[in-house]
Amino acid sequence: MLKRVVIALGLLALGGVASAYSSEADTHVDEVRLAVFQQQIRFWLDDHAREGKTVVCLAIEDSGIRRSVTKDYLKRVPADAAVRTGDDCEERASGAVERGTGRPAVLLVAGRVEWKSPDEAWVTVRHYRSAAVSGVRTQRVVREETRWVCLGQIIKDMPL
């Protein structure tokens, strides 16, 4: 009986810590996603993409619902003429395009944030350039002093 009480108290304590931790972490979700977008913009808008006038369009997915970032949100991204809201782009089988101009596009959707510690999160990111160039990746984001930084893709590999 005493063993059950100790286990129950331990679980309650862990639940309290987890709920306090998650509420603190939730306040950083937007900053973490912004760090992912900044890293992904640098990745997708290389010299070749810029020569081809490619644009990157940003959206966020929460609980399975995708929504475009706002024009105001784009002000938080380092000034780049080739970054658009998700609503500015369209996914087509032949490839994503900017709606107004038909320029080639990459649609980036930052989704679920999984907290690994108070200073580390893994973010699910979907990208769509075309049917052949699309996928889902997990990006690692860490807090460095006063800001969040995306270190890049997490690759899970299993031995043979």
Res 90: pLDDT: 94
Q: What is the pLDDT of residues 77-135, one digit of tens each?
A: 876 779 999 999 999 989 999 999 999 999 999 999 999 999 999 999 999 998 888 99
What pLDDT, on the 0 to 100 scale, is given for residue 3? 47
Q: Quote the pLDDT of residue 77.
A: 84
Distances (CA, A) of 120 to 18, 110, 141, 150, 158: 15, 16, 6, 10, 23
Q: What pTM was estimated for this model as a whole? A: 0.78
- Number of residues in the chain: 160
Choice between 111 and 16, residue whose per-residue pLDDT is larger: 111
pLDDT at res. 146: 86
Provide DSSP, the chain.
Answer: -HHHHHHHHHHHHHHHHHHHHHHHHHTTHHHHHHHHHHHHHHHHS-HHHHHTT-EEEEEEEETTEEEEPPHHHHTTSPP-TTEEEGGGEE--TT--EETTT--BEEEEEEEEEEEEETTEEEEEEEEESSSSSEEEEEEEEEEETTEEEEEEE-------
